[in-house]
Structure 1
Amino acid sequence: MSESQPGPIRRVLVGIWNTVNFTRMLVFNLIFLFILVLVLAAIVASPGVQPLNAKSALVLNLEGVLVEQFSSSPADRVINQATGQAQPEIQLRDLMRAIESAKKDDRIDRIVLLTDGFSAPGFAALRDFAGALREFRASGKQVVAFATNMDQKQYYLAAQADEIYLDPQGGILLEGLGRYRMYYREGLQEKLGVDVHLFKVGEYKSAAEPYVLDGMSPEAREADLYWMGDIWQRFVADIATARKLDPAAVQAMIADLPARVVAAGGDLGKLALQEKLVDGLKTSQEMEALLIERGEEDAENKTFRQIDLAGYLMHSGMPNLVDSRPQVAVVVAQGEITDGDQPPGTVGGESTAALLRQAREDDNVKAVLLRVDSPGGGVFPSEQIRREVELVKAAGKPVVVSMGNVAASGGYWISMNADRIYADESTITGSIGIFGLWMTAPRVLDKLGVTTDGVGTTPLAGAFDPTRPLDPNVGLIIQSVIDKGYADFTGKVAEARDSTPAQIDVHARGRVWSGAQAKDRDLVDELGGFQAALAEAARLAKLEPDAYGVSYIEKPLTPFEQFVVNLGKSSRTEGLLRVLAPTPLLIDRQTLAKVERELAWLDRNGRAPYRAVAHCLCAY
């Protein structure tokens, strides 16, 4: 029996559909080809490496946040930069390499420091940066700083310059250190009916206080003021030394700031000049004219002869691209410590341990420098990384820790077994303590008219159900786990520091210290920045100065990521990306992001019903 033929209407509809489908594919293919042609044309037309002539200024435009390691993929960074969808990031290592190279480069006669839009999460990395600027000046070259406005971290950097200029409409605000947090107890427990149960060891372990209190505990207030006071006194002393001022006079000026602003008629620029915080008030046009007068004019662009950070890094070459010398490998542990394989900017128990393992298995690596900038996180991933540090040492390779802005709680856990621990005087460290949070929500369900009931084969069956009230036996189990975690923490610290758990406990109990205070309590070995720690790692490996290279152990770029990075180096393709990428939402997400970050502890996210946490909410 023959198959029936489709009717005329069906044939017409099928024909229309095929035509539409063909047209759709044709249009999309044409669009794709058009974009591809534009990209290839932009690449071919790319201006390449920025020229560098004699008597040039290295312009460090610091708009962005100072980081140890980029926190997003290379492709994301290029797109974000083109579209303005995320705050730019500046790697400390790039700045240090550029300044060190410029110091010896006869074509560079000065650094121009532009601090508008700059931010830093702490003072330790800032002090490394400032030290590099001072060394540049010591070579006989000039540093000039300019801004429209400056906060105290921006001013800390600017103070290292030979001359500081401020826009006449600008100002400088030195306000002191503050640490204020949101507290959720009333909202969670009174308004929502969530019962929050905190289990911890250490009266100073304050990371989880916002969920059970309405304000700071006396212990948290005492500890925070102690380490903040130390860091603030050092900040004032540093800028006073840099500007040749009396520290007491600077302190008095800050304490009397409201009255002095009023006396200056609200003119913050005039006040900064009066207090000798700056050397002059100039507009950007006047500043440009000054730099043209001191250097050489770029007649084509009608400005002073200059090169930016990205352009100069290309001139100074890629480090360790082909370096057969013995290496000191640098592994960066930046961000919260979490389970599994994590991207840069977050420390993963598996991923960071894998980087250390890679350094251990590389015969050309003779020592490891672990750069820690982390407030901690989960106990288990912290332990995974600590074990790998021990394995690196067991392989005969010395490990030196360089603490950045913060290396507290879990950040200290992954540091404690190093051969030597270096901390900046203004590093935040310590916070040796453990806590756990358990949430139950029967009162929330009561408000909805929902109850929980059932049976179990043992008294503990279903006891970890958060819809039921906390079973006292569950509380005993969790507190016992937390107690063991604290005993493990202090015991491991005692073993690593050649001490006893009882002696470590005196300085532990969750208390936070500055790097200088930690040195006094034998929690770190030496005070110094990245370069000092690097020199120590080379010394322990018996490597002669200038006879070794420094290589960062990181995940290699995929071919696609490398393609996008190369694309972003061209101003033409950057413009193309700006057109093609989506437009960002025009809302301020900072406060929402802060709340989301602090409430992330409430989400179990598939983990065990409870876990021990070594975390410090100690940013400022």
Structure 2
Amino acid sequence: MSDKSPGLIGRFFRGLWNTLNFTRRLVFNLIFVVILFAVVVSAMRGSPTIEAKTALVLDPEGTIVEQYSGDPVERALAKVGGEGEKQIQLRDLLRTIDLAAKDARIERIVLLPDQVSAGLATLREIGQALDRFRDAGKELVVVSEGMSQGGYYLAAHANEILLDPQGMVLLEGLSSYRSYYRDALDKLGVDVHLIKVGEYKSAAEPFVLNKASDAAKEATRYWMGGIWESYLDEIAALRKLDPATLRNDIANLDQQVAAYQGDLAKLALERKLVDRIATRAEVRELLKAKGAPSADGETFRQVNWRDYLSMQVALPDSRPQVGVIVAQGDIVQGERPQGTVGGSTIAQLIRQARKDEAIKALVLRVDSPGGDAYASEVIRREIELIQAAGKPVIVSMGDVAASGGYWISMNADEIWAQPNTITGSIGIFGLFVTIPEALGKLGIHTDGVGTAPLAGALDIRRPFDPKAEAIMTSVIEKGYRDFIGKVADARGKSSTDIDTVARGRVWSGEQAKERGLVDKLGGLQQAIVSAAGRAGLGDGYRTQYVEKPLSTWERLALSLGETEAAARIGRWSGFGLPPGLLPKGEIEETVGLLRTLGGGRLGVVAHCFCEPERR
């Protein structure tokens, strides 16, 4: 046993480490105490009370998602720090609206749709919930300072739309434009080798072409045109407008604006897109007259939807359950956090639902453009197992359920989609990049030997070996045969029948139903009801989301992050970079996605770059 004491240098670094460790603990403890103090102060203020003739203010600011993405603790800390994208769970909005429809104290909803961001299928889900609210004999009033076509898609469901004198309603149509990199890659000396099956499978075209192929334009024009026509027909029906007149007004917007001398609010009023022009002060007086004034008399009696939802108490419920599992994001292998569909993660959740005796049926909510073919197959196999256990599986498609997203859906007992869901894209591709020419421009050359003809064939520094290309082609072609074969078995059709509607072609939900790829048109609630019916539950059931359980620390972090006090601390802190200071480039995003999907291995991808911009 040595009795030597640490030397001077050792004592210095040990002391430095102890000092850093103490400082770290002190800082985190101080932050925790400040947050805890703010939470206690907020709690002492008490929750708002709801009286009769109260208006529910629905102001969904941010991106509406199926489930929050990322790690719960990181999300909570980002919120406290005033960073990160604002996300709103679709389920929370739907639950709030449906609860308010049954609450005698809630007289109307005041909807502020200006800052909402969501795909059209998601917006349709919310619109259907707003219709249920109105069917309960209650009023929906929209207050807007200016709407794009996404916000207006919700606003059209209202009894009355009030627009600010400086506001506007902008309906410009749908678009799908992408950047193409072939010339840029040639200049860099980068060779991209694309192997695909299906002339409509256009996901990787930007790496090998300078413009969209004719097949890609044909397919995109068809499904996007179908969704746009459906959008216009719905708006016209809700607002009691002539569809042809509405189409003509949008097509000739430049002339319309000139005719009204640039007064966009007056244009919207005259074309009956809104019902009244009113400032915020006038809106407050109007709503006070409709309902009741607030305690201070300054505005109308109201409760924000987030406060209203937080006031709801979940009572113990022993009824049988319909489980809901969300598959949102790109499909990749392994364990992944929410916001990405990890093959192992979703398979484990399905397995959990299979073993849970309280869950009698499963709804798989799919909002995914696809991804890794093997990860998709892992999920599909697990669906077969839960069906074999006697539990029906219903798929409810969100904004996008294409390519790999369709792969994980096809074996369901029933597939539901909204008319404006994007689906199909049944096809796969492989992509391999080589850079010998790029390295040559830098004076770097590669040479050596291998023990077999294919040794080093996948070294990106060397030209792509024709034998390796032949192997990859065979793998891709087999993958496509497997894909359409599985779809044919699941849908009760022949492989030839499926091939005619596959080949990478994208369809709207309505078009997919016409071609036998989807069973019924409707939203998540209809899918849940169908699942309960197939399980023989009648009306005696409840819905339970099946998700990875949160740890104690994660629950604490989220509870702190959700408080207004914590949000105020985030605003005080001033930490973090301004939003958008470091935007993620389109090339970086696309290449990063392909790298993630490939997982650093040789494989095939079933992905569709077909998600429209959120509005």
TM norm structure 2 = 0.94
Q: CA deviation at 1:341?
A: 0.6
User: 1:206·1:220 contact (CA, 8 Å) conserved in 2?
Assistant: yes
Q: CA deviation at 1:70?
A: 1.1
CA distance in 1, matches of 2:87, 2:593: 26
CA distance in 2, matches of 1:166, 1:370: 39
Aligned position for 1:394 = 388
CA distance in 2, matches of 1:118, 1:423: 22
Aligned position for 2:114 = 116
CA distance in 2, matches of 1:300, 1:595: 54
- 2:93 corresponds to 1:99: no
Identity %: 52
Which residue, out of 594, 599, 609, partners 1:617? 609
Q: CA deviation at 1:607?
A: 3.9
User: 1:327·1:548 contact (CA, 8 Å) conserved in 2?
Assistant: yes
User: 1:437·1:610 contact (CA, 8 Å) conserved in 2?
Assistant: no
Over residues 205-226 of structure 1, what are the superposed CA-to-partner deviations in whole Å (9 max), with x where a residue is unaligned? 0001010011110001111111
Q: CA deviation at 1:85?
A: 1.9
User: 2:331·2:597 contact (CA, 8 Å) conserved in 1?
Assistant: no
User: 2:147·2:169 contact (CA, 8 Å) conserved in 1?
Assistant: yes
CA distance in 1, matches of 2:149, 2:559: 36
Q: CA deviation at 1:501?
A: 0.9
CA distance in 2, matches of 1:381, 1:236: 38
Q: CA deviation at 1:48?
A: 4.3
Aligned position for 2:545 = 552
Over residues 466-521 of structure 1, what are the superposed CA-to-partner deviations in whole Å (9 max), with x where a residue is unaligned? 11111111110010000010000001001101111111101100000111111111
Which residue, out of 493, 496, 510, partners 2:504? 510
Aligned position for 2:145 = 148
CA distance in 1, matches of 2:493, 2:13: 80
Total equivalences in the alignment: 608
Distance change >3 Å, CA 520–CA 454, structure 1 → 2:
same
Aligned position for 1:328 = 322
Aligned position for 1:572 = 565
Aligned position for 2:309 = 313
- 2:170 corresponds to 1:173: yes
User: 1:335·1:346 contact (CA, 8 Å) conserved in 2?
Assistant: yes
What's the RMSD between the two structures over aligned residues? Answer: 2.5
Matches within 5 A, 1:370-449: 370-449=364-443
Over residues 314-339 of structure 1, what are the superposed CA-to-partner deviations in whole Å (9 max), with x where a residue is unaligned? 22334xx6321110000000111011
Q: CA deviation at 1:570?
A: 3.0
77-86 or 417-426: which moved more? 77-86
**Letter matched to residue 266 of structure 2:** K
CA distance in 2, matches of 1:371, 1:332: 5
Ranges in structure 2 where 5+ consecutive residues have no aligned partner = none
Aligned position for 2:64 = 66
CA distance in 2, matches of 1:5, 1:81: 48
Classify the secondary structure of the residue corresponding to 1:360. Answer: helix
CA distance in 2, matches of 1:553, 1:235: 33
Q: CA deviation at 1:53?
A: 1.7
Over residues 319-377 of structure 1, what are the superposed CA-to-partner deviations in whole Å (9 max), with x where a residue is unaligned? xx632111000000011101111111110000011111110000111000001010000
CA distance in 1, matches of 2:10, 2:403: 67
Classify the secondary structure of the residue corresponding to 2:364. Answer: strand
Distance change >3 Å, CA 345–CA 29, structure 1 → 2:
closer
**Letter matched to residue 559 of structure 1:** T
Distance change >3 Å, CA 526–CA 29, structure 1 → 2:
closer
Over residues 61-112 of structure 1, what are the superposed CA-to-partner deviations in whole Å (9 max), with x where a residue is unaligned? 1111111111133333334334442231111111111111100101100001
User: 1:199·1:436 contact (CA, 8 Å) conserved in 2?
Assistant: yes
**Letter matched to residue 109 of structure 2:** I
Q: CA deviation at 1:281?
A: 1.6
CA distance in 2, matches of 1:517, 1:424: 11
CA distance in 1, matches of 2:531, 2:22: 60
197-206 or 20-29: which moved more? 20-29
Ranges in structure 1 where 5+ consecutive residues have no aligned partner = none
CA distance in 2, matches of 1:616, 1:407: 9
**Letter matched to residue 317 of structure 2:** D
Classify the secondary structure of the residue corresponding to 1:98. Answer: helix
Q: CA deviation at 1:456?
A: 1.0
Q: CA deviation at 1:526?
A: 1.2
TM norm structure 1 = 0.93
CA distance in 1, matches of 2:24, 2:401: 51
User: 2:372·2:598 contact (CA, 8 Å) conserved in 1?
Assistant: no
Q: CA deviation at 1:178?
A: 0.5
CA distance in 1, matches of 2:17, 2:338: 43
Distance change >3 Å, CA 459–CA 236, structure 1 → 2:
same
User: 1:334·1:344 contact (CA, 8 Å) conserved in 2?
Assistant: yes
Aligned position for 1:219 = 215
User: 2:81·2:569 contact (CA, 8 Å) conserved in 1?
Assistant: no
User: 2:333·2:375 contact (CA, 8 Å) conserved in 1?
Assistant: yes
CA distance in 1, matches of 2:601, 2:360: 42
Q: CA deviation at 1:378?
A: 0.4
